[in-house]
Structure formats: structure tokens, C-alpha cells
């Protein structure tokens, strides 16, 4: 009878000591679990247009306009657009790997650029408007190179593919007025996009 009365006390003590360890274990990420979000960076000429293209892809959380691949720190739009820093206009994409794969993002990238234009995209000329894939890890590099090689074999257009594949470097977000420009200034944006011949050339390239 005495042992029976002690059992609830012994059980309670065991729970007190076990609870911290259980809580710690629950807080740790599971081995092999995929991160909640991932990052990808692409250059495809005017970042306004690339931002619109990627934000329409299911699984993409956000696309931020910015600059990458240059020498100067904290470049301004005026410096980059004048071609003085070596940066390219890029979009950095945050996405959910459970909903969209990096391969799907690569498909969206190719379908929204002219891979045959060197140091230019549509009506915008200069190395700041070059097309490129900035990989963040070895897996992205492998997939990007594989994607470019496959496109080279089965491209529906003439011309050499000159799109660069480069290791990512420091990303500098563009000024606030550039972010979501296609939403903030729809009339001006449509006028620019149409006047630049982007949609017409994409249709010519990809059908």
C-alpha cells in the first residue's frame, strides 16, 4: 500500500525531469528537413519586368528588385543604370521549395528573357542589363548549367545562348520606388514594357 501511494509522486517527478529534454528535442529541426524558404537570384534586364514575372509564379513568396555582380558597395540606381559599377539589375526571389522547385523557377526565367542578347535585354543596352543566373549553392549551379545545356540542344529560336551563370555575391536592394513598380505605377509600367518590345520579342522567341 505504501508503494502504491508513492507511485503518483514518482511519476510526477519523472515528468518534471523529462519535460525540458522533450521540449528541447521538439524545438530542433528534423534531420533532412527542407528549409521553409529558399532564395534564387536572376538577371533579366529591367528588374520591374522580372519582378512581375516571378511574383506570378505559384510558390514564390516575394521578388525584390536590386543589384548584384558589381564592384562598388551600396550602389544607387543612377550609378548602376549608367554602367559605372559593374552590377546587373536583378531580382532576388524568395520561394517555398515545397510548392515550387528551383527547376520551375529556371523555366520561368528562360521564358521571360532573350538569351541571345549579350549585355542587353530588349530595348535596354549595357552590361547592367545582361541576362544571368546567380547561383547560391552547388546544387543551383548544377541545375542552372543543366538547364542551359538542355535549352541549347532544344531551343525554339536561332542564335547562341549568351546568358551567364555566376556565383552570387552581395545583393543590394534597389530603392523603394522600384519595388513592385508594376503595381504602384501600372500605366507607366505598361507603356514602358510595350514600348520596349518585350512581349513581342518573347512571343517571337518562345511562341
pLDDT tens per residue across span 98-126: 999 999 999 999 999 999 999 999 999 99
Q: Can 49 be counted among the known catalytic residues?
A: no
Whether 6 is in a domain gets the answer no
In the chain, what percentage of residues exceed pLDDT 90?
83
pLDDT, position 34: 54
Q: Which conformational region is residue 91 in: left (phi greater than 0), alpha (psi within -120 to 50 degrees), or beta? A: beta
Q: How far is Cα 20 from Cα 96, in angstroms, rounded to an integer?
A: 32
Q: Which conformational region is residue 32 in: left (phi greater than 0), alpha (psi within -120 to 50 degrees), or beta? A: left
Instruction: Yes or no: say if 110 and 165 are a contact pair by the CB < 8 Å rule.
Output: no
Whether 33 is in a domain gets the answer no
What residues contact 136, with CB distance under 8 A and at least 6 apart? 39, 40, 41, 168
Higher pLDDT, 176 or 4: 176
User: What domain range includes position 77?
Assistant: 38-188
pLDDT, position 32: 55
Number of domains in the chain: 1
pLDDT, position 33: 54
pLDDT, position 35: 62
pLDDT, position 29: 45
Whether 122 is in a domain gets the answer yes
pLDDT tens figures, 154-171: 999 999 999 999 999 999
CATH number at residue 146: 3.30.1060.10
Q: Does residue 42 surpass a pLDDT of 50?
A: yes
Whether 32 is in a domain gets the answer no
Whether 112 is in a domain gets the answer yes
Whether 9 is in a domain gets the answer no
Q: Does residue 87 surpass a pLDDT of 80?
A: yes
Whether 31 is in a domain gets the answer no
Q: What is the mean pLDDT of residues 12-30?
A: 41
Q: Does residue 136 surpass a pLDDT of 60?
A: yes
Q: How far is Cα 41 from Cα 172, in angstroms, rounded to an integer?
A: 12
Whether 152 is in a domain gets the answer yes
Q: Does residue 12 surpass a pLDDT of 60?
A: no
How far from 197 is each of 1, 49, 113, 127, 192, CA to CA, in Å? 90, 12, 12, 19, 9
3-state secondary structure of 124: strand
pTM exceeds 0.85 for this model: no
Amino acid at each position: 500500500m505504501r508503494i502504491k501511494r508513492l507511485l503518483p509522486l514518482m511519476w510526477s517527478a519523472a515528468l518534471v525531469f523529462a519535460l525540458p529534454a522533450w521540449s528541447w528535442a521538439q524545438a530542433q529541426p528534423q534531420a533532412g528537413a527542407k528549409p521553409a524558404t529558399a532564395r534564387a537570384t536572376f538577371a533579366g534586364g529591367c528588374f520591374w519586368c522580372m519582378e512581375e514575372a516571378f511574383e506570378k509564379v505559384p510558390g514564390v513568396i516575394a521578388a525584390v528588385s536590386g543589384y548584384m555582380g558589381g564592384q562598388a558597395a551600396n550602389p544607387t540606381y543612377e550609378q548602376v543604370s549608367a554602367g559605372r559599377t559593374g552590377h546587373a539589375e536583378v531580382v532576388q526571389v524568395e520561394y517555398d521549395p515545397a510548392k515550387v522547385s528551383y527547376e520551375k523557377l529556371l523555366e520561368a526565367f528562360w521564358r521571360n528573357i532573350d538569351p541571345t542578347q549579350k549585355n542587353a535585354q530588349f530595348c535596354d543596352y549595357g552590361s547592367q542589363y545582361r541576362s544571368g543566373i546567380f547561383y547560391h549553392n552547388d546544387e543551383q549551379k548544377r541545375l542552372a548549367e543543366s538547364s542551359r545545356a538542355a535549352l541549347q540542344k532544344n531551343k525554339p529560336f536561332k542564335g547562341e545562348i549568351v546568358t551567364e551563370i555566376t556565383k552570387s555575391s552581395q545583393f543590394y536592394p534597389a530603392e523603394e520606388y522600384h519595388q513592385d513598380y508594376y503595381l504602384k505605377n501600372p500605366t507607366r509600367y505598361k507603356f514602358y514594357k510595350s514600348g520596349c518590345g518585350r512581349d513581342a520579342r518573347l512571343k517571337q522567341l518562345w511562341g
